[in-house]
């Protein structure tokens, strides 16, 4: 049986209610209302399409694991236009698995983490001290944190550090990303057209970097020097002689590199910003975070040691703060898949050609999964641990497309929080989260930061023993 539900009004379907919920402080209201009427899996009609929505963790899991290759990703037309044909977000089957494994393997490797830790520390310290120069003028965290995350991402992808190329890519990427949610019309002057032009300009720079690397690799017959970034990983793969392995065409590497900048411009900065927003509103949580991080700083100072990546990701309370931020922020609130054949999951038929939206935010904000789901409470993770990737905690998706940047994101947020809370105090102005079309702060979260001059930054009135 196709799940029950309503098609709403002619043409617009239930889109207006969907968007109105997205602009409210409770965006899962749209799902909650329908799940109460029709069950956890229901049918609706939004954004010009009849779709099936799943708020059921077991159904989501089956869709994400995609056994038998029953589902392919589905994106709005404007996003599809801007991603290349060979984008990892588009490709399927053995080629997706191979590219995913190559990128994921590199990003998870201890060598990469050791190297990127130094780079993240440098970017964070530099950014924080430059915010100080504003002298009591607020900085807009949602915007400023992009500079950190974009710099880290471009270094991860192709080892480009601060300088002209980075500034150029950052400017053009901003123009490119504006078209991701736009009308799918490619005529001169339209948003999509301008974004495609910006992509063309970025491709020139990225291609020339890849060309130089390729020449250097050819001289060494694809062997030699260590792999230092994602360009090396993908390029090296094109030199392998095993004909049985599917490979990305050389030309498409540059397109994949550009698309992978999206988390640098959007996902990670949003996570950093929302972490600061939640902490600003929760002084007791902040106090515990400060205490844990001050202790690490003290130990490092005593031993005269440098930090390594394990130090940052081993701070249990900090990791709980990050999990709780990701749960409540719902940066990627759902993924869309299209069924390539009729599929029945738990008695629900998803007919061939239909799209299914697996809602992550519904699971994250469901009382059945999390007590008082609207309360920012990192302690809830003390029972379950932070590495959980259960069916009800899926900020990074799951199954065969589980985000390969998961550990890098956690590391980056941990380093940022450590240096922020051990070196500075901040005051955040009033601001609200908005969820449509992307999660962001309405006023870009203005904060004023000042250095901690001597002494311990903990506020004395907070009684940690009672927390």
CB-CB contact of 27 with 361 (8 Å): yes
For ligand HEM, the closer CB: 100 or 380: 100
Smallest separation (angstroms) from ligand HEM to the CB of 60: 11
For ligand HEM, the closer CB: 230 or 287: 230
Report how far residue 76's alpha carbon sits from residue 196's, in angstroms, rounded to the nearest whole number.
15
Smallest separation (angstroms) from ligand HEM to the CB of 408: 5
Task: Compute the Cα dihedral for 32, 36, 42, 43 and give only its sign.
Answer: negative
Residue that the structure tokens 């005051």 belong to: 427
For ligand HEM, the closer CB: 190 or 391: 391
CB-CB contact of 207 with 254 (8 Å): yes
Residue nearest to ligand HEM (CB): 405
Smallest separation (angstroms) from ligand HEM to the CB of 298: 29
Smallest separation (angstroms) from ligand HEM to the CB of 397: 3
CA 282 to the chain's CA centroid = 23
Smallest separation (angstroms) from ligand HEM to the CB of 79: 11
Report how far residue 162's alpha carbon sits from residue 130's, in angstroms, rounded to the nearest whole number.
14
Three-state SS string over 165-190 comes to HHHHHHHHHHHHHCCCCCCCCCCCCC
- Strands (DSSP E) contained in 238-363 are 334-339, 343-345, 348-350, 355-359
Report how far residue 351's alpha carbon sits from residue 332's, in angstroms, rounded to the nearest whole number.
25
Report how far residue 329's alpha carbon sits from residue 313's, in angstroms, rounded to the nearest whole number.
20
For ligand HEM, the closer CB: 71 or 370: 71
CB-CB contact of 271 with 413 (8 Å): yes
The structure tokens listed for 112 are: 């990469």
Single out the residue of 270, 272, 273, 316 nearest to residue 296, CA to CA: 316
Beta strand 334-339 pairing with 348-350: unpaired
CB-CB contact of 120 with 414 (8 Å): no
Smallest separation (angstroms) from ligand HEM to the CB of 456: 30
For ligand HEM, the closer CB: 17 or 232: 232
* 403 labeled binding residue: yes
The phi and psi torsions of 451 (rounded to 5 degrees) equal -75, 155
Smallest separation (angstroms) from ligand HEM to the CB of 158: 12
Q: Binding residues for ligand HEM, per CB under 6 A?
A: 73, 88-89, 96, 100, 103, 107, 156, 260, 263, 267-268, 271, 331-332, 335, 395-397, 401, 403-405, 408-409
For ligand HEM, the closer CB: 203 or 268: 268
For ligand HEM, the closer CB: 103 or 203: 103
The structure tokens listed for 32 are: 């909650």
Smallest separation (angstroms) from ligand HEM to the CB of 47: 17
Q: How many helices (H) and strands (E) does the chain have?
A: 19, 12
The structure tokens listed for 182 are: 């736009």
For ligand HEM, the closer CB: 55 or 156: 156
Known binding residues are: 403
Known binding residues for heme are: 403
């Amino acid at each position: 049986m196709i799940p029950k539900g309503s098609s709403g009004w002619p043409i617009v379907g239930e889109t207006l209610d969907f968007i109105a919920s997205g602009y409210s402080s409770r965006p899962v209201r749209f799902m909650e209302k329908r799940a109460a009427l029709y069950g956890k899996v229901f049918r609706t009609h939004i954004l010009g399409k009849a779709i099936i929505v799943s708020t059921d963790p077991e159904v989501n899991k089956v869709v994400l694991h995609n056994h038998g290759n029953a589902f392919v990703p589905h994106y709005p037309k404007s996003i599809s236009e801007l991603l290349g044909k060979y984008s990892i977000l588009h490709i399927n089957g053995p080629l997706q698995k191979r590219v995913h494994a190559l990128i994921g393997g590199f990003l998870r490797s201890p060598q990469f983490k050791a190297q990127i830790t130094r780079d993240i520390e440098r970017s964070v310290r530099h950014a924080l001290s430059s915010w100080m120069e504003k002298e009591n003028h607020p900085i807009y965290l949602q915007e400023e944190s992009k500079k950190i995350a974009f710099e880290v991402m471009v270094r991860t992808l192709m080892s480009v550090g601060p300088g002209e190329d980075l500034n150029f890519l950052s400017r053009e990427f901003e123009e490119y990303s504006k078209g991701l949610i736009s009308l799918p019309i490619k005529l001169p002057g339209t948003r999509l057209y301008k974004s495609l032009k910006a992509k063309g300009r970025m491709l020139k720079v990225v291609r020339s970097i890849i060309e130089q690397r390729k020449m250097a690799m050819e001289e060494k017959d694809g062997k030699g020097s260590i792999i230092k970034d994602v360009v090396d990983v993908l390029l090296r793969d094109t030199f392998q002689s095993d004909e049985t392995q599917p490979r990305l065409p050389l030309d498409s590497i540059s397109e994949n590199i550009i698309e992978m900048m999206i988390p640098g411009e959007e996902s990670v900065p949003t996570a950093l910003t929302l972490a600061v927003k939640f902490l600003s509103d929760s002084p007791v949580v902040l106090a515990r975070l400060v205490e844990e991080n001050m202790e690490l700083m003290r130990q490092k100072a005593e031993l005269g040691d440098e930090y390594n990546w394990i130090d940052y990701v081993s701070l249990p309370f900090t990791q709980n703060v990050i999990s709780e931020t990701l749960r409540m922020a719902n940066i990627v609130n759902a993924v869309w898949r299209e069924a390539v054949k009729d599929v029945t999951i738990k008695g629900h038929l998803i007919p061939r050609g239909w799209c299914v939206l697996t809602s992550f935010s519904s699971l994250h904000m469901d009382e059945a999964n999390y007590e008082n789901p609207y309360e920012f409470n990192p302690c809830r993770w003390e029972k379950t641990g932070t590495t959980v990737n259960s069916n009800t905690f899926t900020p990074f998706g799951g199954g065969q497309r589980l985000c390969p940047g998961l550990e890098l994101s956690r590391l980056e947020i941990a380093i940022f929080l450590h240096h922020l809370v051990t070196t500075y105090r901040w005051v955040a102005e009033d601001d609200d989260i908005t969820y449509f079309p992307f999660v962001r702060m309405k006023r870009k979260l203005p904060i004023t930061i000042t250095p901690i001059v001597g002494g311990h930054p903990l506020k004395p009135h907070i009684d940690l023993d009672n927390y």
